[in-house]
């Protein structure tokens, strides 16, 4: 299990269709949006590096019970968001899956025409 870097996390988030990085809360907090909805937040200069991600509520409870590095979302709705400490204790594949899950949950909540636009690859 490897420790994540800020560059790797940013690259993963920005690889998803229609994703934009913005700083609405502070210059130190990267917030990744798809169609004006956030799906990931991270203080990329933070030590340890953490990321907050949207998650299905039941899956959130399982993850929190299984991994000490996964806790209720910091300053977020604790039912729907987790904060993950990227210290290598959570398997790399799981972290990647959680980023994808967060993105997919946000996209699923978008109006149909926006989902279709993302699927078509325009993202604009």
Cβ atoms of 65 and 86 within 8 Å: the answer is no
Looking at domain 6-119, which of 1.10.620.20, 2.40.50.140, 3.30.420.270, 3.90.1150.30 is its CATH number? 3.90.1150.30
DSSP secondary structure code for residue 2 in this structure: P
Cβ atoms of 16 and 63 within 8 Å: the answer is no
Q: What digits encode the pLDDT tens for the residues 68-84?
A: 999 999 888 888 999 99
Q: What digits encode the pLDDT tens for the residues 53-64?
A: 999 999 999 999
* pTM, rounded to two decimals: 0.91
Sketch the domain layout of the chain as residue ranges.
Answer: 6-119
């Amino acid at each position: 299990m490897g420790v994540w870097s800020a560059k790797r996390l940013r690259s993963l988030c920005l690889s998803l269709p229609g994703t934009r990085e913005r700083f609405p809360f502070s210059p130190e907090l990267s917030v990744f949006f798809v169609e004006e909805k956030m799906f990931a937040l991270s203080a990329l200069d933070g030590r340890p590096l953490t990321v907050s991600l949207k998650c299905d509520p039941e899956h959130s409870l399982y993850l929190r019970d299984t991994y000490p590095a996964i806790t209720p979302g910091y300053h977020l709705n604790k039912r729907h968001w987790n904060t993950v400490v990227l210290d290598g204790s959570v398997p790399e594949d799981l972290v990647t899956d959680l980023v994808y899950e967060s993105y997919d949950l946000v996209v699923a909540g978008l109006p149909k025409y926006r989902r279709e636009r993302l699927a078509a690859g325009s993202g604009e």
